[in-house]
Amino acid sequence: MTDNLPDLAVNGATVASGLTALVGPVVLFLIGVMAVPHLFGAARSMSALLQYAALAVGVVLVFYFPAVLTDVARTIAGVFGSGGGSPTSPAPGGGNGQ
């Protein structure tokens, strides 16, 4: 009788994909709406337009390519010596279980 019920379990992956599908396009739309008046302005408005474009690129990275941020964070952690290492570095001990 319960075999026909949909799986309603909520986990982190479904919540993250739902937020990406909902919030990402809305935020990008709002950034675009705020940037449109700066398209037809003077030189000072062009710098504001470039700031909105940089903000839009940041939003795209956060919502659509979160793995890029974790890779950058691991690389920065490795540079400062906190044990992060590069994302492709092998495990300590050669990775063979020793």
- Report how far residue 34's alpha carbon sits from residue 20's, in angstroms, rounded to the nearest whole number: 21
- The 10s digit of each residue's pLDDT in 26-58 is 888 888 888 887 777 666 777 888 888 888 888
Q: Of 65, 98, 70, give the one whose Cα is nearest residue 84.
A: 70
Say if 37 falls within a structural domain. yes
- Number of separate domains in the chain: 1
Q: Which amino acid is at 22?
A: L
Say if 96 falls within a structural domain. no
- The 10s digit of each residue's pLDDT in 67-82 is 888 888 888 888 888 7
Phi and psi torsions of 15, nearest 5°: -65, -45
- Report how far residue 58's alpha carbon sits from residue 4's, in angstroms, rounded to the nearest whole number: 42
The structure tokens listed for 18 are 């739902």
Q: Of 69, 68, 38, give the one whose Cα is nearest residue 52.
A: 38
Residue 35 sits in which domain range? 22-87
Say if 72 falls within a structural domain. yes
